[in-house]
C-alpha cells in the first residue's frame, strides 16, 4: 500500500474543483502522528471498547486501551440507528481515570450504541460498542430492488425466484428491475444505461418511501467510474462506484467521455445500501460457467439465511495495524476471545467463519490456485483491490467458488464501522454508516459521527462498494418446516412443522400483492396452526420462527427467514 492521494487541479481539466474538505484531509495526511493514539488535526486515536450484558444493564469496558488510564472519561449513548453528533446523550460526563462503566438506565428492547471518549494530557481517543437486551427483529425492513441483467433472467429464473422469496421472507418489499448487460460498453453508452437505471430506482423509492432501501445488482449491470483518486496510494484514476445508484437525491457531473467527476459522494450521503453480485470479471471460460458461479452464490446465500451453515460465532483477523477499527467492530459482534489470528490464506481456509479481516493476497489467481477461504463476511484490504472492475479482483475472488464469502468490502480507508451487526443490523447498514460518516458542519472533524476513520481521515468515499448481498446479517436462526394452507368452513387453516430452534414461537403473515406482508398472528411455542377467517384458496402465507437468542453483545428476539405456502 502506498500513501493515499487526491487529484491536483489541472489547467484544462473538466473535473470539479477540489472540495474544501479534501484540502483539509491532504493537510492532515502530512501528520506522522495520525496513526498513533494522539490528537492530530481533530483526529482522535482508536479506543478498543468491549461490553457485556449484566443483570443490571450493559457494562462497557476498555481494558485493552493503551495506555490503560488517560485523564477523564466521557460515556455517551443513543439508540442504534440514530445519526449525527447531536443525537449522542452524555450519560457519564467525567468519570476520571477508569476502565469500565455500568449503564443501569438502559431500557430493554432497544439496541444501544455507546461512545467512550478519553481525554488526557497526551492521549485523546474514542471507541464504540453496541448492545442490548431482547432487541427485536423488525417485521418489515423496507424496500429491496433487485436489478437483474436481462440475459440471466431466464437461465437463473428458479434461483432468482428463490432469492426473491428469501428477501420477502426477511421482511423486504421486493421489486425487480431489468438491466442491459452494459458493464463493458463504451463510457457514454454505459453512463446512459446507468442514468436510466438510477431514474427507475428513484421512482421505486418514491413509490415506496417507508423503511430502509436496499439495491442488489445481479449480473453485468452497468458499472460507472468517477473522480481521480488514489486511496491506496497508487496512481490517481477514476474508480468504479456503485454508490452512484445509491445516492438517490443528487446529480453527479460527468465528462463527455462518460466519466463521472466527483471525488467524494457529492452531498456526503447515500440513501440506500447497495451490493453487487457480478462474477463476470473472474475469468470464467464461458458464460455457462459464470452462470454456475452465480447459482452457487445464490444457493449459499439461501443456505446461510435458513441457518444451514450453523450458528457461527467465530472470526479471524490479520494486519490489525491497517484494520484496527474493523477489528474492534468484529470483537463487538463475536467477542474478542472468539477472534483467531490469521488471514484469508491461513485461518480462512480452515473451516467456516462468520467474519474474516485481512490484507489478503494481492493476486486474484491465489484465491483459486493456492487456497480457498470461507468467511461469510469479509474485509479484503490492500492495493488495487478497491478497483472492483479489475480482472480477477481479490475481493470478488472471495465470493467465487471454491471460496465461500457472501459479502466483501475493502475497508481500512475509510474503516468500516461493523459494530451494529452485533445487534442484528445488516452489512449494508454498516456500509451506509461508513460511507455517510463525515462532518456535520463544514470541515469540523469534531462533528463527525465516528472517529477515527482508520489510519487516514477519508470521508464519503466513492469507492465504498460492497460486493455481495447488502441485506445479509449475522446470527440466522432455524425457520419452521414446510407450511400448508387448507380451506375450512370459517376460513383458511395454516399449519407448519415446528422449528428445531430452542424457544421457538411463530409469526404468521398473509402476503400482499402490492405492499408489505400483513401480520396475522403470533403463536405460543406449542402452537402449530392458525385460522385466517378472511383467507381464500388463492391466499399465500408465510411463517417465521420467533425465538430468543443470546449473542456476545446481549440478547435478541430474532426472526427467521419465512417459509411459504406454495
The CATH number linked to 67 is 2.60.40.10
Query: Of 82, 112, 136, which residue sits at a domain end?
Result: 136
Is residue 90, in this structure, part of any structural domain at all? yes
- Domain termination site, one of 136, 161, 180: 136
Burial of 447 (0-12, 13-18, 19+ CB in 10 A): middle
Residues 460 and 541 in one domain: no
- Examine residue 476 and state whether it is found in any structural domain, yes or no: no
Instruction: Give the CA diameter of the chain.
Output: 80
Predicted pLDDT of residue 140: 95
d(CA 284, CA 400): 10
Let me know whether 104 and 165 are in one domain. no
Same domain membership, residue 498 and residue 450? no
Q: Are residues 216 and 265 in the same domain?
A: yes
pLDDT at 25: 39
**Alpha-carbon separation of residue 530 from 173, 332, 483, 495, 521 (angstroms):** 24, 39, 11, 7, 8
Specify the pLDDT at position 134: 97
The reply to whether 12 falls in a domain is no
Residue 124 shares a structural domain with residue 147:
no
Residue 39 falls within a domain, yes or no? no
Same domain, 381 and 516: no
Domain with 534 in it: 483-564
Same-domain status, 278 and 333: yes
User: Do 184 and 131 sit in the same domain of this protein?
Assistant: no
What is the model's pLDDT at position 37? 35
Regarding whether 193 and 147 lie in a shared domain, the answer is: yes
Q: In this predicted structure, what is the pLDDT of residue 96?
A: 87
> Is the N-terminal amide bond of 67 cis, ω within 30° of 0?
yes
**What pLDDT does 5 receive?**
52
In the block, cell 447531536 appears at 86
Same domain, residue pair 265 and 155? yes
pLDDT of residue 499: 95
Query: Burial letters for 457-470: b for 16+ Cβ neighbours within 10 Å, e otherwise?
Result: bbbbbbbbbbbbbb
473 inside domain: no
Give the separation between CA 50 and CA 127, rounded to whole angstroms: 9
Among 436, 390, 431, smallest CA distance to 411 is for: 431
Residue 387 lies in a domain: yes
Flag whether 11 is in a domain.
no
Residue that finishes a domain, picked among 104, 136, 168:
136
pLDDT given at position 13: 27
Q: Using an 8 Å Cβ cutoff, are 508 and 494 in contact?
A: yes
pTM: 0.92
Q: What is the pLDDT along the chain (566 residues), one digit of tens a residue?
A: 765 654 433 332 222 233 344 433 333 333 322 323 333 346 899 999 999 999 999 999 999 999 999 889 999 999 999 999 999 999 999 888 899 999 999 999 999 999 999 998 777 899 999 999 999 999 999 999 999 999 999 999 999 999 999 999 999 999 999 999 877 777 888 999 999 999 999 999 999 999 999 999 999 999 999 999 999 999 999 999 999 999 999 999 999 999 999 999 999 999 999 999 999 999 999 999 999 999 999 999 999 999 999 999 999 999 988 999 999 999 999 999 999 999 999 999 999 999 999 999 999 999 999 999 999 999 999 999 999 999 999 999 999 999 999 999 999 999 999 999 999 999 999 999 999 998 877 777 878 999 999 988 899 999 999 999 999 999 999 999 999 999 999 999 999 999 999 999 999 999 987 778 899 999 987 777 899 999 999 999 999 999 999 999 999 999 999 999 97
**CA distance linking residue 383 with residue 93, whole number of Å:** 41
Asked whether the beta carbons of 426 and 18 are under 8 A apart, the reply is no
3-state secondary structure of 26: helix
Judge if 531 and 388 occupy the same domain. no
**Whether the Cβ atoms of residue 466 and residue 274 lie closer than 8 Å to each other:** yes
| Residue 523 located in a structural domain | yes
Total domains present in the chain: 3
151 and 132 assigned to the same domain: no
Amino acid at each position: 500500500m502506498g500513501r493515499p492521494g487526491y487529484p491536483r487541479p489541472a489547467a484544462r481539466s473538466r473535473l470539479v474543483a477540489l472540495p474544501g474538505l479534501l484540502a483539509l484531509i491532504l493537510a492532515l495526511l502530512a501528520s506522522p502522528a495520525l496513526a498513533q493514539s494522539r490528537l492530530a488535526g481533530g483526529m482522535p486515536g482508536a479506543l478498543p471498547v468491549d461490553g457485556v450484558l449484566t443483570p443490571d444493564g450493559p457494562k462497557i469496558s476498555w481494558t485493552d486501551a493503551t495506555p490503560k488510564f488517560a485523564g477523564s472519561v466521557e460515556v455517551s449513548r443513543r439508540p442504534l440507528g440514530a445519526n449525527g453528533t447531536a443525537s449522542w446523550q452524555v450519560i457519564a460526563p467525567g468519570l476520571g481515570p477508569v476502565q469500565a462503566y455500568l449503564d443501569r438506565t438502559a431500557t430493554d428492547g432497544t439496541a444501544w450504541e455507546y461512545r467512550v471518549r478519553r481525554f488526557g494530557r497526551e492521549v485523546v481517543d474514542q471507541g464504540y460498542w453496541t448492545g442490548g437486551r431482547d432487541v427485536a427483529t423488525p417485521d418489515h425492513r423496507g424496500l429491496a430492488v433487485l436489478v437483474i441483467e436481462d440475459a440471466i433472467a431466464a437461465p437463473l429464473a428458479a434461483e432468482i425466484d428463490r432469492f426473491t422469496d428469501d428477501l420477502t421472507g426477511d421482511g423486504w418489499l421486493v421489486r425487480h428491475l431489468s438491466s442491459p448487460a452494459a458493464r463493458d460498453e463504451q463510457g457514454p453508452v454505459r453512463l446512459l444505461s446507468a442514468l436510466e437505471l438510477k431514474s427507475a430506482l428513484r421512482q421505486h423509492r418514491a413509490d415506496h418511501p417507508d423503511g430502509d432501501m436496499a439495491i442488489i445488482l445481479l449480473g453485468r449491470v452497468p458499472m460507472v467510474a468517477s473522480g481521480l483518486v488514489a486511496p491506496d496510494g497508487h496512481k490517481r484514476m477514476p474508480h468504479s462506484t456503485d454508490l452512484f445508484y445509491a445516492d438517490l437525491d443528487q446529480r453527479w457531473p460527468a465528462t463527455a467521455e462518460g466519466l463521472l467527476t466527483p471525488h467524494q459522494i457529492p452531498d456526503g450521503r447515500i440513501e440506500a445500501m447497495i451490493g453487487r453480485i457480478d462474477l463476470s470479471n473472474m475469468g470464467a471460460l464461458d458464460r455457462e460457467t459464470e452462470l454456475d458461479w452465480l447459482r452457487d452464490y445464490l444457493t449459499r446465500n439461501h443456505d446461510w439465511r435458513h441457518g444451514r451453515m450453523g450458528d457461527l460465532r467465530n472470526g479471524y483477523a490479520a494486519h490489525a495495524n491497517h484494520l484496527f477499527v474493523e477489528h474492534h467492530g468484529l470483537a463487538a459482534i463475536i467477542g474478542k476471545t472468539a477472534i483467531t489470528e490469521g488471514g484469508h490464506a491461513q485461518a480462512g481456509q480452515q473451516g467456516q467463519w462468520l467474519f474474516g479481516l485481512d490484507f489478503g493476497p494481492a493476486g486474484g489467481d491465489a484465491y483459486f490456485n493456492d487456497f480457498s477461504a470461507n468467511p461469510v463476511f469479509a474485509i479484503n484490504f490492500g492495493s488495487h483491490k478497491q478497483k472492483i472492475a479489475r480482472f480477477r479482483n481479490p475481493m470478488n475472488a472471495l465470493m467465487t467458488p471454491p471460496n465461500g464469502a457472501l459479502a466483501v468490502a475493502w475497508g481500512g480507508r475509510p474503516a468500516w464501522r461493523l459494530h451494529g451487526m452485533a445487534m442484528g443490523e445488516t452489512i449494508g447498514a454498516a456500509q451506509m454508516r461508513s460511507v455517510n460518516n463525515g462532518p456535520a458542519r463544514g470541515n469540523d472533524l469534531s462533528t463527525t459521527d465516528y472517529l477515527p476513520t482508520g489510519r487516514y481521515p477519508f470521508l464519503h468515499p466513492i469507492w465504498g462498494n460492497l460486493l455481495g448481498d447488502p441485506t445479509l446479517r449475522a446470527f440466522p436462526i432455524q425457520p419452521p418446516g414446510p407450511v400448508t394452507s387448507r380451506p375450512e368452513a370459517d376460513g383458511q387453516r395454516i399449519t407448519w412443522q415446528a422449528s428445531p430452534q430452542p424457544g421457538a414461537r411463530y409469526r404468521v403473515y398473509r402476503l400482499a400483492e402490492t405492499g408489505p406482508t400483513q401480520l396475522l398472528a403470533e403463536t405460543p411455542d406449542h402452537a402449530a396452526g392458525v385460522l385466517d377467517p378472511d383467507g381464500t384458496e388463492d391466499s399465500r402465507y408465510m411463517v417465521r420462527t420467533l425465538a430468543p437468542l443470546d449473542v456476545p453483545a446481549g440478547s435478541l428476539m430474532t426472526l427467521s427467514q419465512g417459509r411459504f405456502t406454495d
